[in-house]
Amino acid sequence: MSSKANENYQFQKIIAIVGVLLFIIKLVAWYMTRSVAIFTDALESVVNVISGFIGLYSLYLSAQPRDRNHPYGHGKVEFISATIEGGLIIMAGIAIIFEAVRNLINPQPIGQLDYGIYLVAITAIVNFILGWYAIKKGKTNKSLALVASGKHLQSDTYSTLGIIIGLLLLYFTNLHWLDGAVALVFAFIIIITGYKIVRGAVSGIMDETDEALLEEVVAYLEHNRKENWIDLHNMRIIKYGSVLHFDCHMTVPWYFTIVEGHKEVELLEKEISEHFGDDLELFVHMDDCKTFSCSICSKQDCPFRKEPFVKQIKWTIENVSKNKRHTCTTEQE
């Protein structure tokens, strides 16, 4: 298990344990108040607990080394985990809607509301801090499972805050219908959050292009390009868990030996890993330069130059993604 994978796994353990503790606190708050809003908040915490342990297992599995049956590793299990988690969030939101509507039709008396507000406020603070840190760590370590868990925790925070506001209004106005109304509003917020998590997970399963990641990689390589890298094209990036799979075609001077060409590939891998981490698989096909490459090649000491240098092509998502070598007309295409 790599250091990042182990870090993700250990943090997911914390999320799972905290989820159980917060669920118990919300159950106590519901028992004291008999508030349907707090009950629905506790219902969502059930999803937190289940999702926490699903995410824990997915991070454990995704960290396993690749084998004969899984030559690209086990990272895609994180997408499955996020899909299940998002689906559970949506189901919780639907269940909350039914409970809220029932309470609006037939409002129930509220018990010790002040103590209930204190308890759910504590869970909101803990969830927000833990969720914020999970998203930050998930983005740093390229873990969709941690990001999904963090978003889920923050959505739980927002719904809890809304419930607290509703309970405060109920406490001062004694309007019992507010209990169900607040729960109903935040049920829709929960459903939207679940949909976004599912949408992101399905994109990963279908190997949909991560435009933001691709743009970040291209901009970084453009800023750190070397003179022997005449062009990069047919670039593709896939994320499996925390591992970044990167492949492209790179045009180098035609007279380079295999050893010299391999050194350029190693230099490219070093540049990418320094910025994006060590969990990287790089596959580079080397192309030899042609006469038309001279006009975009800035190499100063080329002994075989056939045409004068005209300009260097700026690498963009559009031109590095095409399976076509760059020429002076590339930017106008």
Quick check: 286 and 268 in contact, CB under 8 A? Answer: no
Quick check: 213 and 109 in contact, CB under 8 A? Answer: no
Q: Across the chain, what does the average pLDDT equal?
A: 82
Between the ranges 4-13, 122-131, 202-211, where is the mean pLDDT highest?
A: 122-131
Which residues make Cβ contacts (< 8 Å) with residue 10, sequence separation at least 6? Answer: none
Query: What domains can you pick out in the chain, each with its CATH number?
Result: 3-206 (1.20.1510.10), 211-321 (3.30.70.1350)
Percentage of the chain exceeding pLDDT 70 = 88
For residues 248 and 98, the model is more confident at: 248
Quick check: 279 and 243 in contact, CB under 8 A? Answer: yes
DSSP for 103-119, please give it.
HHHS------HHHHHHH
Q: What per-residue confidence (pLDDT) applies to 286?
A: 93
State mean pLDDT over 224-237: 92
Tens-digit pLDDT profile for residues 25-67: 988 988 888 787 787 778 777 776 776 677 677 667 766 777 7
Q: What per-residue confidence (pLDDT) applies to 278?
A: 61
State mean pLDDT over 139-156: 74
Q: What per-residue confidence (pLDDT) applies to 111?
A: 75
Q: What angle do CA 324, 219, 265 make, to 5 degrees?
A: 60
Confidence of residue 1 (pLDDT cuts 50, 70, 90): low
As a whole number of angstroms, the distance between CA 88 and CA 256 comes to 56
Structure tokens at 280: 């990287």
Show the DSSP H helices in the chain as ranges. 3-33, 36-62, 77-105, 113-140, 144-173, 177-205, 211-223, 258-276, 317-321
Tens-digit pLDDT profile for residues 110-124: 778 888 888 989 988
As a whole number of angstroms, the distance between CA 124 and CA 219 comes to 39
Confidence of residue 75 (pLDDT cuts 50, 70, 90): low
For residues 68 and 94, the model is more confident at: 94
Residue 293 has pLDDT above 90, yes or no: yes
Tens-digit pLDDT profile for residues 173-199: 877 777 778 778 878 877 887 888 888
For residue 246, the surrounding DSSP H or E stretch is strand 243-252
Beta-carbon count within 10 A of 132 CB: 14
Of the listed ranges 20-29, 235-244, 312-321, the one predicted with least confidence: 235-244
